[in-house]
């Protein structure tokens, strides 16, 4: 991914949570890095640069999604790295962290390098996340040092949570020794066999088996105990797609106790509830499932009060024929890369009155910090030239059929979004322009 010529973004309002800048600024990108940030009209090195006129627009660090499924290798009929990253660019994301539940599972340096190869045609930077155990079977640890050397930024068994205490303890300890985070999909699968949505009145009415909230919160509490037992500030546990008030409360308490425990929340978990399943709508089937209104409100509260470290989409594309089946047979997951910013601006910024800088921080600086992505999530001079330029005031309607992703499995088709991406620049290249 080599940069094109120098780019000068002029006339915009720069919001960079990482540096605290929230003011009119011009910015120069050169050789894939931020070369200069100056007062309007004061760039010194912009001669010959391509000009992007950002008058009336917000200029911000490129968004970072630390939880996506790009489906390659092995499931290119759902999504490819090329189409998934094109969707990311359209949504303002300049970097994505790809989960290892591919076919075969990404548990080796070879697959990690394959995912990052230029032949994949990625529009934005892909950071692979390696499997914690061989084949994600929860038994034998992988070579974390080798995975990191190949480019992995964290380890996880994702949808196959590590249930054995001893294996999870060893995973946390081994990952900490090489400076990797451990991401846990918190689900005690012994409690969710045959379940396809949240336990509660809606599941009862639909005749579906429900997942108890304790399946999530119990594993989060177990993992936090293991972090505490290891007694090392190098151990980092990150809770993926947190969805229950009990799990959020456990994270909140862990932080009060000084433990290095972080978490993310997906837009669908702070916007939707299990009522949206309606009459067996498979576009509202995901794991963790949509929860009760009380859990949904707890996610929103945790975002507002700072317990949540990042907003991540859990972008999980599926082919149409896979979702057009009975609810219990349909796979879990929805797409999310093209809707995250529009949803966050509409509901967190406009409705919940969260300052725009804080919303952008949850989508850029803070995700970069969670995974230690140096030079990302900020537009400080010398950082990577990852930029989003967007109009924060434009309303638009999302049409899944017009999206860049291969898949259309979203509950947000037809929703009105706020904030339209004009340009996405990844490492000095314009990868999306509207």
CA distance 11 to 219: 49
Do the Cβ atoms of 273 and 290 come closer than 8 Å? yes
Torsion of CA 232, 238, 243, 249, to 10 degrees: 20
Spell 224-233 as b/e; 16+ CB within 10 A means b: bebbeebeee
**Cβ proximity of 19 and 381 under 8 Å:** no
What integer pLDDT is reported at residue 46 of this predicted model?
Answer: 86
* Cα–Cα dist 398/336, whole Å: 11
Residue 6, both tokens: 């120098």
Q: What pTM did the predictor assign?
A: 0.97
What the chain holds in terms of domains, given with CATH numbers, is 7-59+384-433 (2.30.40.10), 63-371 (3.20.20.140)
Q: What residues are paired with 96 via a beta bridge?
A: 65, 126
245: tokens are 């008030």
For residues 424 and 92, is the Cβ–Cβ distance under 8 A? Answer: yes
| Tokens 């004009």 found at | 422
Comparing CA positions, the residue from 417, 409, 240, 399 lying closest to residue 316 is 409
Q: SS3 string of the chain? A: CCCCCCEEEEEEEEEECCCCEEEEEEEEEECCEEEEEECCCCCCCCCCCEEEECCCCEEEECEEEEEECCCCCCCCCCCCHHHHHHHHHHCCEEEEEECCCCCCCCCCHHHHHHHHCHHHCCCCEEEECEECEHHHCCCCECCHHHHHHHCCCEEECCCCCCCCHHHHHHHHHHHHHHCCEEEECCCCHHHCCCCCEECCHHHHHHCCCEECCHHHHHHHHHHHHHHHHHCCCCCCEEECCCCCHHHHHHHHHHHHCCCCEEEEECHHHHHCCHHHHCCCCHHHCCCCCCCCHHHHHHHHHHHHCCCCCEECCCECCCCHHHHCCCHHHCCCCECCCCCHHHHHHHHHHHHCCCCHHHHHHHHCHHHHHHHCCCCCCCCCCCCECCEEEEEEEEEEECCHHHCCCCCCCCCCCCCEEEEEEEEEEECCEEEEEC
**Phi/psi of residue 47, nearest 5 degrees:** -60, 125
Residue with tokens 């985070």: 181
Considering only CA atoms, give the Rg of the chain.
21
Question: In the prediction, which pLDDT does 434 show?
Answer: 85
Whether the CB-CB separation of 409 and 325 falls below 8 Å is answered with no
User: In degrees rounded to 5, what are phi and psi of residue 14?
Assistant: -85, 125
What residues act catalytically? Answer: 314
> Residue 47, CB half-sphere, CA atoms under 13 Å: how many?
2
Per-residue pLDDT in tens (0 to 9) along the chain, 434 residues = 556 689 999 999 999 999 999 999 999 999 999 999 999 999 998 899 999 999 999 999 999 999 999 999 999 999 999 999 999 999 999 999 999 999 999 999 999 999 999 999 999 999 999 999 999 999 999 999 999 999 999 999 999 999 999 999 999 999 999 999 999 999 999 999 999 999 999 999 999 999 999 999 999 999 999 999 999 999 999 999 999 999 999 999 999 999 999 999 999 999 999 999 999 999 999 999 999 999 999 999 999 999 999 999 999 999 999 999 999 999 999 999 999 999 999 999 999 999 999 999 999 999 999 999 999 999 999 999 999 999 999 999 999 999 999 999 999 999 999 999 999 999 999 999 98
Please tell me the number of Cα atoms within 13 Å of 263 on its side-chain side: 31
d(CA 402, CA 86): 13
């Amino acid at each position: 991914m080599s940069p094109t010529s120098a780019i000068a973004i002029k006339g915009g309002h720069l919001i960079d949570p990482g540096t605290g800048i929230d003011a009119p600024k011009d910015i120069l990108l050169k050789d894939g890095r931020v070369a200069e940030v100056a007062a309007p009209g004061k760039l010194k090195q912009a001669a010959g640069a391509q000009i992007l006129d950002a008058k009336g627009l917000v200029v911000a660090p490129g968004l970072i999604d630390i939880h996506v499924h790009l489906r390659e290798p092995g499931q290119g009929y759902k999504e490819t790295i090329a189409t998934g990253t094109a969707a990311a660019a359209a949504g303002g994301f300049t970097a994505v962290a790809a989960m290892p539940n591919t076919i075969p599972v990404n548990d080796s340096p070879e697959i990690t390098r394959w995912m990052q190869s230029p032949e994949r045609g990625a529009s934005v930077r892909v950071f692979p996340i390696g499997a914690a155990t061989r084949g994600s079977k929860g038994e034998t640890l992988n070579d974390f040092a080798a995975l990191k050397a190949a480019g992995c930024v964290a380890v996880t068994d994702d949808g196959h949570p590590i249930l054995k205490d001893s294996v999870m303890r060893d995973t946390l300890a081994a990952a900490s020794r090489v400076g990797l985070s451990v991401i846990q999909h918190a689900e005690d699968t012994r409690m969710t066999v045959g379940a396809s949505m949240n336990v509660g009145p809606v599941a009862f009415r639909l005749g579906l088996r429900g997942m108890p909230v304790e399946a999530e919160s119990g594993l989060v509490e177990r993992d936090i105990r293991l972090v505490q037992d290891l007694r090392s500030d190098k151990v980092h546990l990150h809770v993926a797609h947190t969805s229950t008030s009990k799990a959020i409360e456990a994270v909140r308490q862990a932080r009060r106790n000084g433990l290095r425990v972080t978490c993310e929340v997906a837009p669908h978990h702070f916007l939707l509830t299990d009522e949206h399943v309606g009459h067996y709508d498979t576009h509202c089937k995901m794991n963790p499932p949509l929860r009760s209104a009380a859990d949904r409100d707890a996610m929103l509260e945790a975002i507002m009060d700072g317990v949540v470290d990042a907003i991540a989409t859990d972008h999980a594309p599926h082919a149409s024929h896979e979702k057009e089946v009975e609810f219990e047979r349909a796979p879990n997951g929805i797409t999310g890369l093209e809707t995250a910013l529009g949803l966050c601006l509409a509901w967190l910024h406009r409705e919940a009155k969260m300052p725009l800088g804080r919303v952008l921080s949850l989508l850029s600086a803070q995700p970069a910090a969670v995974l230690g992505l140096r030079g990302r999530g900020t537009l400080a001079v010398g950082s990577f030239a990852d930029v989003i330029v967007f109009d924060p005031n434009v309303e638009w309607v999302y049409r899944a059929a017009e999206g860049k992703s291969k898949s259309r499995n979203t509950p947000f088709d037809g929703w009105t979004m706020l904030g339209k991406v004009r340009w996405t620049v990844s490492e000095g290249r314009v990868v999306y322009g509207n």
